[in-house]
Amino acid sequence: MRLENFEPLFIAMNQVGEKKQRFTIEYNGVRAHVLFLADIEPFLLIFGIQGTNEYFELEMTRDFEVNSFFVKELYRKLIEIFNIQYDPDHKFTPNDFLSFVNNNVPEFRNTERVKSSDILRYKRDIEEADKVHFCGWIYHTTKSNAQPPNLEKTRILMGEAAYKRCCERNISSKWTDLIERRTDPDLENFLA
């Protein structure tokens, strides 16, 4: 299913150099943050449920297509999270939810920039998810290598370009839970 209302948001994001934005929806009385990560391929939509911190994610192509066939586990999770009740006159489908999301994508000015902590608040299956502040790079030698979990954390938090550079040059990103140790990644110079 094409979620065409993400396209104007994506265009506006690119005009100001933003790659990650978030907004809030309320579906069936349940509030969720929608995190739109447009700096990885495929794009990623993370749905974080307020109050419970449950989440699920959907991949989106560069053409704003989302697979509307949900595996049984995700379909059941959607029904449970959003308290969907049985209706003999209308069977709930993923398209119902996706249409709602598409129709509630706000204009860019009504969205917020996504921080690493926003992502890790919900997506806990990332290496050292409690360490949300970037604090440097590790340039590996032939005796050590960047590890896949760290590379995936780099991809999700810093984008596809940083991930590819780390893979090409055997570099790991360093993270800390102490805000005072946080440093600016200066991605422009890192990617140059």
The 10 Å Cβ neighbour count of residue 40 is 19
DSSP three-state, residue 168: helix
Q: Cα–Cα distances in Å, from 98 out to 1, 4, 80, 92, 103?
A: 8, 11, 16, 11, 9
Q: CA dihedral defined by 53, 36, 168, 166, rounded to 10 degrees?
A: -50
Low-confidence ranges of the chain (pLDDT < 70): none
Contacts with 149 (C-beta within 8 Å, 6 or more apart), sequence order = 126, 127
- In this prediction, what percent of the chain has a pLDDT beyond 90? 82
| pLDDT of the residue at 114 | 94
Q: What are the CA-CA distances from residue 24 to residues 7, 43, 83, 106 (Å)?
A: 18, 18, 18, 9
**Per-residue model confidence (pLDDT) at position 51:** 86
| Residues in a beta bridge with 139 | 171
Q: Provide φ and ψ at 59, rounded to 5°.
A: -85, 145
Which pLDDT belongs to residue 141? Answer: 86
Q: What pLDDT is stored for residue 3 in this prediction?
A: 98
Task: Tell me the sheet residues that pair with 39.
Answer: none
Please give the Cα distance from 192 to 189 (Å, whole number): 5
Which of 179, 184, 147, 183 is closest to 163 using CA atoms? 147
45's tokens? 């939509």
Nearest to 38 by CA among 56, 20, 23, 22: 20
Query: So where are the chain's domains?
Result: 5-114, 133-191
The whole-model pTM stands at 0.89
